[in-house]
Chains A and B, each alone.
Chain A
């Protein structure tokens, strides 16, 4: 049974997922166990995305299915889930840029790989990154941007982090369609990830995960 939910979710069978969850709740199963299976299913989705078996529509859809699972399970939850996270990441699309599809995928992949992600959204001014880093103490920062003007916004964001005295406390990765090694040097970021999979690899390296 437990296996079925993992499989149904990772195969994106929305109706089946809902049915299984309803049945298991009716059978008075521990809701945390159901959520744990859902998490495993999402992990498989992430793996399939990494191996180019799944694409953006599949991620969007899996996220939507997960949402219905949590909605069903939430009322039965007595305590919050306490899953151990690998580390915190602050992430957002930089000032002047609203492209969020690439950023959302990075957030998704970091999340299913066990990171606690603080997503600041789009068009995020440098100061907001700084505040969030202070608030969360996150050691990893991700900047997304697709426009050429985002190169400057990224640079300014790294500078703002430096001015706040936080530069040696965080690792900064950047990414987005037009980002190259050259842009990484220009912005003084630590590295760039050509896709979400590379972003996860960087975060794992920096968090000291094997």
Chain B
């Protein structure tokens, strides 16, 4: 009999998630029908190659290669970001074209542009998007702000979920104003708690909020149907999707979306203890978010974009005190449940590498942008698999020969002994098609292990 999940070791859990990734299902729960036996074979070969690179136990047949863009597929297909965000068919076409054009070993599906109509309905303020404060041919933009005030740490620490629903969400979604009037749901106790606590649901602003939620939900479902079908078609053509979902470093949860850069940095001076306590409170929540996605989607890799701990953002002392401890704990929590944390070290992290190598071997996957690749290989690369480092500026403005030379250097330096995957290092919008092609093709040609 098969072992229950709870009885498995973390190694066994990771194996189980890889096995599920290897045998994808359709929405009805049946085995996915591949386009052809060759597509099925290619799909399995690709995952095996990636798995060998991640686990670092044996050499893959060759260095795998990824293409992990931002809006590039959309421009590449001749659409504007506005079209991709409002027209799910166009979005799907763009991402299908990406794999058809470049045939990478893994891709990230068509989810990134997202459903603009949902943001319209909810009056989303944290972002601007094409057609809505941004011109149609540009990517969406984040509006950083102090969406949580300096004095609100206690409320967040006390009950994060309630803080989000009653305070944070109404601030970033105009249509969710009504949430401010909702009762604390844990007050609905016994018969006494019922009548009073349901009064708010009868109030017009609350009802308007729920109406918007229903509408947004219906639209999100429509999007999920279209994009889900597209992603499945990409899988069926032999191209595995890399990420089960995402989670974040607790410092970035606070620094990116709640307090903003300025806010979190002042808190490091003015209320360091509260900041640390809040991050500790968010840690199990971030673990659950990543593990939940891995288990639900049946695949191991969980994306973690790393932002405000990069070189220059703080001193090494501050990094060790504020950024790393809870990030490490999130990663360890994911690893314990068989997931493979995939931090993206955006920008340069060269001075952080020694600290960040304090993790078990063969359990992590790192996107590397501009960190020194040789040093990365010696440190974090000794315990985890690396991908990336091909610069955006080179892909946008260089020549195919320059790209090949760069990829050669990456493979020579980081590919030795496995544990490296060729890829762009940053989420690019613009690049020359021939340069992306050169990156993929040269990786396949030069990256074979003999």
Number of interface residues of B (CB under 8 A): 37
Q: How many A-B residue pairs have CB under 8 A?
A: 86
Tell me if A55 and B430 are in contact (CB < 8 A): no
Tell me if B429 and A182 are in contact (CB < 8 A): no
| Residue B297 CB within 8 A of the other chain | no
Stretch at the interface among A33-41, A70-78, A158-166, A172-180: A172-180
Tell me if A182 and B135 are in contact (CB < 8 A): no
Q: Which B residues touch A127, using CB under 8 A? A: none
Interface SS of A by simple majority: loop
A121 CB, nearest partner CB in chain B, Å: 12
Tell me if A56 and B313 are in contact (CB < 8 A): yes
Q: Which A residues touch B318, using CB under 8 A? A: 55, 57
Tell me if A151 and B314 are in contact (CB < 8 A): no
Tell me if A56 and B265 are in contact (CB < 8 A): yes
Q: Which A residues touch B138, using CB under 8 A? A: 95-96, 149
| Residue A152 CB within 8 A of the other chain | yes
Tell me if B430 and A152 are in contact (CB < 8 A): yes
Indicate which residue in A12, A55, A180, A195 contacts B391 across the interface (CB closer than 8 Å). Answer: A180
Tell me if A149 and B315 are in contact (CB < 8 A): no
Tell me if B314 and A56 are in contact (CB < 8 A): yes
**Chain B stretch 410-429: residues in CB contact (< 8 A) with chain A:** 426, 428-429
| Residue B211 CB within 8 A of the other chain | no
| Residue B355 CB within 8 A of the other chain | no
| Residue B262 CB within 8 A of the other chain | yes
Tell me if B142 and A98 are in contact (CB < 8 A): yes
Q: How far is the CA of A55 from the CA of B322 in the complex (A)?
A: 14
Interface string of B322-339 (1 = CB under 8 A from A): 000000000000000000
Indicate which residue in A98, A148, A186 contacts B428 across the interface (CB closer than 8 Å). Answer: A148
Indicate which residue in A55, A61, A186 contacts B269 across the interface (CB closer than 8 Å). Answer: A61
Tell me if A182 and B143 are in contact (CB < 8 A): no
**Chain A stretch 84-103: residues in CB contact (< 8 A) with chain B:** 95-98, 100-101
| Residue B266 CB within 8 A of the other chain | yes
Whether A182 touches B393, Cβ cut-off 8 Å, given contacts A55-B312, A101-B261, is: yes
Tell me if A151 and B266 are in contact (CB < 8 A): no
Chain B residues engaging chain A, CB cutoff 8 angstroms: 70-71, 134-135, 138-139, 141-144, 261-262, 265-266, 268-270, 312-315, 318, 347, 370, 391-398, 426, 428-431
25 A-B pairs (CB sep. < 8 Å): A14-B269, A54-B315, A57-B265, A57-B269, A57-B314, A60-B261, A60-B262, A61-B265, A64-B266, A95-B135, A96-B135, A97-B141, A98-B142, A123-B134, A123-B141, A147-B70, A148-B392, A148-B395, A148-B429, A148-B431, A149-B430, A178-B370, A182-B397, A183-B397, A186-B397
15 additional contacts, CB 8 Å, given A55-B313, A56-B312? A57-B266, A60-B262, A61-B266, A96-B139, A97-B141, A123-B134, A149-B429, A151-B393, A151-B397, A152-B430, A178-B393, A180-B393, A180-B394, A182-B397, A183-B393
Chain A residues engaging chain B, CB cutoff 8 angstroms: 12, 14, 54-57, 60-61, 64, 95-98, 100-101, 123, 147-149, 151-152, 177-180, 182-183, 186, 195
